[in-house]
């Protein structure tokens, strides 16, 4: 009975994480840290900003270049959003952010590709930034609104990007239970502890699901079109040559 349960558990683990583990292992064995330069660079930037903002005058410098708040003009927020992803919270331990980014960004860089990882991270971070502005505008009387003082809270950090990338990794590798667990945890957190960060995580999840589903539907469309055009051109050229 125990052996049967053990075999069933092993099959379930392989079905859930086998593709993910095999893909990551092959890349890491062949290239080591050279396979995840984006993740290493992002981790270094978070550590650098964490050190700088605790130096004399450093917090003001980091605020000017990378801190986003809903109270800021939209153009300023958009300019700061790329760097805001790497600015950790002042009141939280930075080691958690470093570990999350190195692990999740590293896996995403291998599984999804470098360009897709950057696009998903920034798109979902930007979606959360825009949501924060809308939530303050609609006010606390709305289910998804917030009072005006929330507009002055620092809206930085990699957590929304990490959550979004975890969803896309699970989708890509068909780790459906893992993806559902991430979604359930983030939604539960937003319900139990309703705050701006929690709802931004939900917005990041929705954005990630839309990106992943769009990639599933349209990801191979243009390659098929280009292949068809190329085949038609070759066929036409062959007919002309024969004639």
Per the prediction, the chain carries an average pLDDT of 84
Concatenate the DSSP letters of all residues of 57-98 into one string: THHHHHHHHH---TTS-HHHHHHHHHHHTT---TTS-HHHHH
pLDDT at 12: 73
SS3 (DSSP) at 156:
coil
Structural domain containing residue 210: 2-242
pLDDT value of residue 232 = 46
Give the span between the Cα atoms of 7 and 2, in whole angstroms.
Answer: 9
In the chain, which ranges are continuous DSSP H helix? Answer: 2-31, 37-52, 58-66, 74-84, 94-100, 106-111, 114-138, 159-172, 176-192, 196-218, 221-242
pLDDT digits 0-9 by tens, 213-236: 988 777 654 455 445 545 445 545
Least-confidence region, from 23-37, 123-137, 180-194: 23-37
Number of structural domains found in the chain:
1
């Amino acid at each position: 009975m125990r052996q049967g349960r053990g075999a069933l558990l092993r099959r379930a683990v392989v079905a859930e994480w086998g593709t993910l583990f095999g893909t990551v292992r092959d890349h890491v064995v062949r290239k080591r840290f050279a396979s995840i330069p984006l993740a290493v660079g992002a981790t270094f930037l978070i550590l650098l900003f964490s050190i700088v903002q605790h130096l004399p005058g450093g917090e003001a410098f980091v605020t000017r270049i990378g801190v986003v708040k809903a109270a800021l003009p939209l153009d300023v927020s958009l300019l700061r959003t790329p760097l805001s992803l790497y600015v950790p919270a002042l009141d939280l331990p930075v080691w958690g952010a470093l570990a999350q980014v190195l692990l999740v960004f590293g896996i995403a860089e291998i599984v999804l590709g470098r360009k897709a990882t950057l696009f998903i991270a920034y798109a979902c971070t930007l979606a959360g930034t825009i949501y924060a502005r809308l939530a303050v505008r609609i006010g606390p009387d709305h289910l998804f609104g917030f009072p005006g003082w929330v507009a002055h809270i620092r809206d930085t950090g990699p957590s929304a990007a990490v959550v979004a990338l975890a969803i896309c990794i699970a989708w890509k590798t068909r780790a459906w239970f893992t993806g559902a667990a991430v979604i359930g945890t983030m939604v539960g957190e937003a319900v139990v502890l309703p705050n701006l960060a929690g709802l931004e995580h939900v917005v990041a999840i929705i954005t990630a699901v839309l990106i992943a589903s769009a990639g599933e539907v349209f990801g191979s469309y243009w390659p098929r079109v280009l292949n068809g055009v190329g085949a038609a051109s070759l066929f036409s050229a062959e007919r002309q040559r024969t004639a």
